[in-house]
Amino acid sequence: MLRSLREVIEWTSGAVGSFNVVDPLMALAVVSAAVQEGRPAIVGVATRHWEKMDAPVMVPSIRAIVERSSAAVALHLDHAKPSQLTIVREALDLGFTSIMIDGSTEPFEDNCAITEEVLKLAGRYGAGVEAELGAIAGEEGVAGLVDSHADESLYTDPGMAEAFVSRCEVDALAVSVGTAHGLYKAEPKLQLDLISELADRVSVPLVLHGATGVPDSAIVESVERGVRKINYFSGLLVEAMDEVRSPLPSNDTDYLGFRRRLYERWKEDAAEKIRLYAGIREAGE
């Protein structure tokens, strides 16, 4: 079932997992994981991949996978920059139910203004909007190596966050609390007290980006303190490349078997993250 950002957040105890995908097979794995777990999820497409994956051709398949499933799933455009409103319009026309406008590199007033513009645009389609305040280090969608935590000066300021959401009625707010996009060189240190303070002062659901490599205990703690949506992507790429590197006999031509194994890896990984983000600790932890 295709659902709105607001619905999938409200229907999830803990935080909803948001998984960026680059093709329909990845989307199928994520949606199957949500069905298996009986919980909502978000299938995202990053603007960085929009042209490379030929989104206008691929998205109808991805949308069909979502619509035919029994799980509540939102279709999310991730990290649209202020210069990418053409992609925002394309995504809305293709049926996306959630748009992230990332004006975090702009001054506060400009970030508010572009977010308000996207709120109006998305509102015409009944789609939800996620904004970002404070900068999250690393580049979304490339799984590069990043430092363990962002520059403290980039962390989200609680007072500014409160002022931001009082002006722009967004459905979710991405915050900078020590995570980064990509693969960490050293274990990241989440600013848990900052998450608590933000959750106290900001009335909209908080979003954590860059969850790959964050210790499970820190994830669960951040959910307990008020994070309601968690973005996960790099880990799916690591799973894929581990499968690519698995030794095979030189005469193996079973490409469909390879795709099946990719699907199973992604599904298992997404299911594990859906359970973790719901605040469920696995046995033995």
Minimum distance between the CB of residue 140 and Zn ion, rounded to whole angstroms? 4
Exactly one of 54, 78, 110, 147 is catalytic; which is it? 78
Assess 49 for contact with Zn ion (CB under 5 A).
Answer: no
CA separation for the pair 272, 92 (Å, rounded): 30
For residue 8, the 8-state DSSP code is H
- Chain position whose Cβ is nearest to Zn ion: 209
Site for Zn ion in 115-154 (CB under 5 A): 140
Start-end of H helices in the chain: 5-10, 24-37, 47-50, 55-68, 85-93, 108-123, 158-167, 192-201, 216-224, 234-244, 255-277
Assess 102 for contact with Zn ion (CB under 5 A).
Answer: no
Q: Are 157 and 194 in contact (CB under 8 A)?
A: no
Minimum distance between the CB of residue 207 and Zn ion, rounded to whole angstroms? 8
Spatial neighbors of 172 by CB under 8 A, at least 6 apart, are 5, 9, 128, 129, 130, 131, 204, 205, 206, 207, 228, 229
Assess 209 for contact with Zn ion (CB under 5 A).
Answer: yes
Is 78 tagged catalytic?
yes
For residue 186, the 8-state DSSP code is S
Name the residue nearer to Zn ion (CB basis): 182 or 262. 182
Minimum distance between the CB of residue 36 and Zn ion, rounded to whole angstroms? 25
Name the residue nearer to Zn ion (CB basis): 209 or 225. 209
Name the residue nearer to Zn ion (CB basis): 145 or 248. 145
Minimum distance between the CB of residue 124 and Zn ion, rounded to whole angstroms? 25
In sequence order, the β-bridge partners of residue 131 are 101, 173
Name the residue nearer to Zn ion (CB basis): 140 or 171. 140
Site for Zn ion in 51-90 (CB under 5 A): none
Phi/psi for 33 (5° steps) reads -65, -40
Name the residue nearer to Zn ion (CB basis): 132 or 239. 132
Catalytic residue numbers?
Answer: 78
Site residues (vs Zn ion, CB under 5 A): 140, 209
